[in-house]
Structure 1
């Protein structure tokens, strides 16, 4: 079920009314409602996928209980291994089986051997990469003694399947989200109102920005060989805004919907395109995944400890694995590898933590130096996004090669067709710039802005969804 669909527009109020007006007196009953609603939400795509999420939940719930009952290190290691094998096994089969098989066959073909293996017609379960990592965080934290295992199976199943963030995050840690299912939730009007504002902004970024940018980006990437360099620059630009509007829009909606039900999720995007270097960009982009890999992979393999060689190795491991998490294609690995190349010099110069504040803090405009840093960082991310979007590494290289020709100085033939979308992009950038120190772009301090100004903004956003909303597109990260 898509957030930007009529189905969800019916589903959400029904669940909300049942949650607060029918089952509000009992936490357990509320949690049962959330489990049922979440399974209905997830099963809307394909009910067969529910078997995977139920089985994964049962495995990790059981492993957690067994870990609490044994102190023998060998037994604990085997239990953790069981959780890793089940979760990563499902993920590996559904997401990577055909990739490894096809590359295995190609390798043998290169050496003159035909092994005759054929790929399988596997349907990738929606959101499997997200809920798999969410359940793994629970098992690993219990194993490491950072979290006490839960005996409340309803709360655990609700934690794993919580519908607002089930299929595209944020990837919540059990230490943050699971305890919220134990406590009585109280409806807070101000939280709900701010949640609705966050939902509105998320829908605007998805429907008006991402879906319209997708239309132009798709045409340009599919026909890049016949287009000018300037048009290809705009193609990369439109995709950069598409993936940002799409993914951060989903996160805003997920967080806003969660607040309607009394839950607080972590911030997943912190205006990343205002970053002054790549290190800052990755602290602000898909925060839940970046911190997951930092805590469960980067630090365990050594992090920034050790010699220069180990530091470089660990950076490449974290970025390449992060790229591969996104999909079974060499383009994602190349994208991760390129970001590692961006990051290593900053790390070696010990400058990867110099931009931890908000750009131009307390000022209306940034300095010339900061503006230059933002533009350079954005251009580097555009280059990397070409690999992310292109169907193959060869296509990405040819796309970039075709971009940097004399035609890059020409005026794109379709520029007039893009004007309205570019206007809304500029509008979004302006709003987010002035709100860059907030959790989301429509978070307003009480009394800071006149009421009529705020409501004019809400009305503009609401009607833009209907006047200029692009053709409905699936959320990009559903395929991951």
Structure 2
């Protein structure tokens, strides 16, 4: 079920009304409703894959209970690795089986040995990368005694399958989300309004920014041989805003929807395109994933505590694994490796923690130096996104080469209709960036609009009406969220 679908506009208020006005007297019934709603939400795509979520839920719930009773360290390690192997085994089979098989065959062919195998027609379960990491965080934290195992199965199952963030995050830690299922929740009008406001901004990002940029990005990337350099640069920029609007828009809708039900999810994006270096970008982009890898992979490997060799090794491991997490394609690995290369000079010069606060905090404009740093970081990010978007590495390299073949400083050679669409999309991007810049010190861009407009309700509602109008105009171009494929 898509957040931007007719089905969801019926589903959400129905669950909301039952949750707050029928079952509000019983926490257990509220949790049971959320569990049932989450299974309906997920099963809307393919009910057969519900069995994977149920199995993963039962496995990690049982292992958590066993860890609670077990004191022998050797047995505790067996229980932990059972969870890791089974969960990553499912993820590896559904997501990477054909990738490893194809590369295995290619390696033998390269050395002159022909072998015959047959790939499997495997359907990737939606959201498997997200809920697998979520359940793994639970088992690891229980093993490390950072978290007391959950004894209420309904509460735990609701945590694993919580529908707002089930299929594309944020990847919630059990230490943050799971305890919220055990606390009595009271309806808060201000919290619900804030949730609706964040949902509105998320829908704008998805429908107006991402989906419009997607039409041009797909056109240009799929036919890059026919376009001049300036058009190819535009295509890369459009994809840059497509993936940001698409993914951060989903996160905003997920966080806002959770707030409607009395839950607080962690922030997943913090204005990454205003970053002054690549280290800051990665502190602001897909925060739930980058911090997951930091805490459960980078730090256990030694982090940056060792010598130069260990620092280099761990940095490349974290970025390459992050790239591979996104999909079974060498393009994602190259994308991760390229970001590692960007990051290394900052790490080696101990400048990777230079920019912690948001740019130009308390000011209207950045300094010239900050502006140049943002533009440079943005340009490097756009270049890396070409590999992320391309069908394969050859496609990405040819795309980049074609940028410099000719027409880099000429007008884009799009036909009249697509040129008009490009101008319209750039106008929306400029509007979007302006709102993001003005609201960059908030959790999300329009969070503080009530403070900025004060008692001038007409200004506030005029802005909301404008956003809703844009969403309504472009809502016919319904597209899945990019990160559903990851």
Q: TM-score, normalised by structure 2?
A: 0.98
Shift of 1:469: 3.9
Cα deviation, 1:295-340, whole Å, max 9, x if unaligned, reads 0000000101110111011000000000000000000000000000
Contact kept, 8 Å, 1:212 with 1:470, in 2: the verdict is no
How many residue pairs match? The answer is 480
Contact kept, 8 Å, 1:323 with 1:334, in 2: the verdict is yes
DSSP 3-state at the match of 1:47 = helix
DSSP 3-state at the match of 1:443 = coil
Provide the residue aligned with 1:288 in structure 2: 288
Contact kept, 8 Å, 1:208 with 1:470, in 2: the verdict is no
Structure 2: distance between partners of 1:447 and 1:168: 31
1:277-316 matches, cutoff 5 A: 277-316=277-316
Contact kept, 8 Å, 2:227 with 2:413, in 1: the verdict is no
Provide the residue aligned with 1:181 in structure 2: 181
Structure 1's 410 and 446: CA in aligned 2 closer, same or farther, altered over 3 A?
A: closer
Contact kept, 8 Å, 2:450 with 2:460, in 1: the verdict is no
Contact kept, 8 Å, 1:170 with 1:268, in 2: the verdict is yes
Contact kept, 8 Å, 1:279 with 1:346, in 2: the verdict is yes
**Gaps in structure 1 of 5+ consecutive residues:** none
Contact kept, 8 Å, 1:211 with 1:469, in 2: the verdict is no
Provide the residue aligned with 1:318 in structure 2: 318
Q: Tell me whether 1:352 sits opposite 2:356 in the alignment.
A: no
Q: Tell me whether 1:432 sits opposite 2:436 in the alignment.
A: yes
Structure 1: distance between partners of 2:213 and 2:196: 24
Provide the residue aligned with 1:333 in structure 2: 333
Cα deviation, 1:112-140, whole Å, max 9, x if unaligned, reads 22221110000000000000000000000
Provide the residue aligned with 1:69 in structure 2: 69
Structure 1: distance between partners of 2:41 and 2:459: 36
Shift of 1:89: 0.4
Provide the residue aligned with 2:482 in structure 1: 476
Shift of 1:447: 4.2
Structure 1: distance between partners of 2:2 and 2:315: 35
Structure 1's 447 and 383: CA in aligned 2 closer, same or farther, altered over 3 A?
A: closer
**What is the aligned counterpart of 1:453 among 451, 459, 479?**
459
Cα deviation, 1:47-105, whole Å, max 9, x if unaligned, reads 00000000000000000010111111110110011101110000000000000000001
Contact kept, 8 Å, 1:99 with 1:329, in 2: the verdict is yes
Structure 1's 470 and 392: CA in aligned 2 closer, same or farther, altered over 3 A?
A: farther
Shift of 1:445: 6.1
Moved more, 426-435 or 110-119: 110-119
Contact kept, 8 Å, 1:206 with 1:249, in 2: the verdict is yes
1:59-458 matches, cutoff 5 A: 59-414=59-414, 415-444=419-448, 446-449=450-453, 450-458=456-464
Structure 1's 297 and 361: CA in aligned 2 closer, same or farther, altered over 3 A?
A: same
Cα deviation, 1:171-205, whole Å, max 9, x if unaligned, reads 00000000000000011111100110100000000
Shift of 1:145: 0.8
Shift of 1:446: 4.6
Shift of 1:421: 1.2
Shift of 1:466: 1.7
DSSP 3-state at the match of 2:190 = helix
> What is the RMSD of the two structures over their aligned residues, measured on CA atoms?
0.9
Cα deviation, 1:267-311, whole Å, max 9, x if unaligned, reads 000010000000000000000000000000000001011101110
Contact kept, 8 Å, 1:212 with 1:469, in 2: the verdict is no
Structure 2: distance between partners of 1:446 and 1:102: 55
Large movers: runs of 4+ above 2 Å: 413-417, 445-448
DSSP 3-state at the match of 2:452 = coil
**What is the aligned counterpart of 1:464 among 452, 470, 477?**
470
Shift of 1:348: 0.5
Structure 1: distance between partners of 2:30 and 2:264: 16
Shift of 1:441: 1.2
Shift of 1:448: 3.2
Contact kept, 8 Å, 1:134 with 1:171, in 2: the verdict is yes
Structure 2: distance between partners of 1:454 and 1:333: 44
DSSP 3-state at the match of 1:372 = helix
